[in-house]
Amino acid sequence: MVSTTIVDGNVYITTGTVSGNTITHNTNELVVIHSTKIDQNLTNEIRVRPITVSKGRTGEEPVTQIVDLKIITESLNVNGVLDDETNESANTKRENLVNLAKLKRELTVVWGTTPYQTIWKQEAKKRGVFVQKIIFTETSGIIGENVTAASQPDRNIALQINLVRGKDI
């Protein structure tokens, strides 16, 4: 098991456990995204019932009828970058993220530090987080290639990831 300290501005996707500002996880089961934008969404399923109005109707304007189904979907959209770091390349981070999305049923996502930390983790009612879609954008050329020549720029892979919170059935 490895411990990682949470830093503001990053989003962490893992199968590990979060305790304060530390994540304890298995090797290759934590991906750090240097985030540029985080959108947290709540979508409530609502049905609109149209009102039919006859030609001869006079008087008060009809009011639209709405049925609130209370089927709420929580989702998270993260835009960010996977960077080369001394202990892990951007390419390795991409492979680890793809493996987490394909192989792990439920993930934990955390961003921010205490007291303003947000954690979506496996729990009884809201079981975990599932990857819905990932888009990787890689720069071609010297920046995009893992060049062995000295003093080349770091490689980075931009990504957009959509995550949905829910329970696996």
Residue 38 is assigned to a structural domain of this protein: yes
Residue 126 is assigned to a structural domain of this protein: yes
Shortest CA distance to 68 belongs to which of 81, 49, 42?
49
Shortest CA distance to 16 belongs to which of 7, 6, 8?
6
Give the total number of structural domains in the chain: 1
- pTM score: 0.79
Residue 155 is assigned to a structural domain of this protein: yes
Tens place of pLDDT per residue across the chain (169 aa): 899 999 999 999 999 899 999 999 988 899 999 999 999 999 998 898 877 767 766 667 777 888 888 888 899 999 999 988 878 888 899 999 999 999 877 899 999 988 889 988 877 566 788 999 999 998 655 554 555 554 455 678 999 999 998 876 6
Q: DSSP of 79-110, one letter per residue?
A: EEEEE--SS--HHHHHHHHHHHHHH-S-BEEE
Q: For position 120, which CATH number holds?
A: 2.40.30
Residue 60 is assigned to a structural domain of this protein: no
Residue 86 is assigned to a structural domain of this protein: yes
| Identity at 64, one-letter amino acid code | T
Residue 16 is assigned to a structural domain of this protein: yes
Residue 109 is assigned to a structural domain of this protein: yes
Which residue range is the domain that position 105 belongs to? 2-42+72-166
